[in-house]
Structure 1
Amino acid sequence: MSDETEIIDAELVDDSEVLLPAPPEQAPRPRFVVTQHTMLGPGELPPSSEPAAPGWTDADFRLSPEDVEDLNKPNVADNTDRNRRSTLGRFRQWCAEQKPPLIADPCTTSTYTRYGLHLIRLGRAGEYKPDSVGKYMSRIWNAQPKNLRPDRDPFLGQLRAWRREWAKAGGEVDRAATATIGYTLRILDTVDESTNIGKRDALLIALAYSNLHRETELADMLVMHLRVLDDQIRIVTAASKTDQAGVGVPNTIRDRADLQQVRRARAWLAVLRDLGADGPRQPLFPGLASTGRLRRYPEDRKRGNRMRPGTINERIQLLAQRAGVAYIDGRKVTSHSFRRGSNTDMKQAGVSLAERNIAGRWKPGSFTADTHYDNPLGAGTRDPLAQVPLYGGPAHEAVAAARAAAQPQAAPAEEQP
Structure 2
Amino acid sequence: MAEMLPSLMVPTSSWLRSTPHRYWLEYQGLRLLDFSKASRLNDGFGALDNQGKLVPDAQPDTTLTARMTHSYATAAIRGLPGCRMLAAHGVQSLLGPLRDAEHEGWFGGLTNGRPTETQQHKQNYLHAFISLAASTAVVARLPGAAQLLEQATSVWETHFWSEEEGVFRESFQADWSCEEDYRGANSNMHSVEACMALADVTKNPVWRHRALRSAERFIHILARDSDYAVREHYDRNWTYLADYNRTRPTDDLRPYGLTPGHFVEWSHLLLKLEAALLRESGTAPEWLLTDSIALFEKGIAAGWSRNGRPGLLYTVNNDIEPAVENRPHWVQAEALTAAAALLKRTGNVKYETWYQTLWDYIDLYMIDRHNGGWLQELDGENRPSEVVYAGKADLYHAWQSTLTPLLPLSPSFATAVQALF
TM-score interval, normalised by the smaller of the two chains = under 0.3
- Taking structure 1 as the reference length, what is the TM-score of the superposition? 0.26
Higher RCO (CA-CA < 8 Å; seq separation 6+): 2
Which protein shows a greater Rg? 1
When normalised by structure 2's length, the TM-score is 0.26
